[in-house]
Amino acid sequence: MNATCPECAATITMPADTLASEIIVCPDCGAELEVISLDPPTLALAPEVEEDWGE
């Protein structure tokens, strides 16, 4: 299963057991990507996790 990195346009081969909402790392640019869809394979930049600093 192949998808395209939205950051650098590299082709990423995803393992067959990849799940939707899983976070993967682009081997070319190192961007953290979220698997949006498996059919067709679609990736998006993973949302940044913000610290809540105890709020």
Instruction: Let me know if residue 38 belongs to a domain.
Output: yes
Domain that holds residue 22: 2-45
The span from the CA of 5 to the CA of 48, in Å, is: 17
| DSSP secondary structure code for residue 41 in this structure | E
Using alpha carbons, select from 44, 12, 14 the residue that is nearest to residue 28. Answer: 12
Pairing of strands 41-45, 32-38: antiparallel
pLDDT band at 39 (very low <50, low <70, confident <90, very high): very high
Q: Total domain count for the chain?
A: 1
For residue 14, give the CATH number of its domain. Answer: 2.20.28.160
Each residue of 12-36: pLDDT tens digit? Answer: 999 999 999 999 999 999 999 999 9
Instruction: Let me know if residue 26 belongs to a domain.
Output: yes
Instruction: Let me know if residue 17 belongs to a domain.
Output: yes
Instruction: Let me know if residue 34 belongs to a domain.
Output: yes
Share of the chain above pLDDT 70, in %: 89
Statement: the pTM of the whole predicted model exceeds 0.85: no
| DSSP secondary structure code for residue 21 in this structure | T
Average of per-residue pLDDT across 3-15: 96
pLDDT band at 47 (very low <50, low <70, confident <90, very high): confident
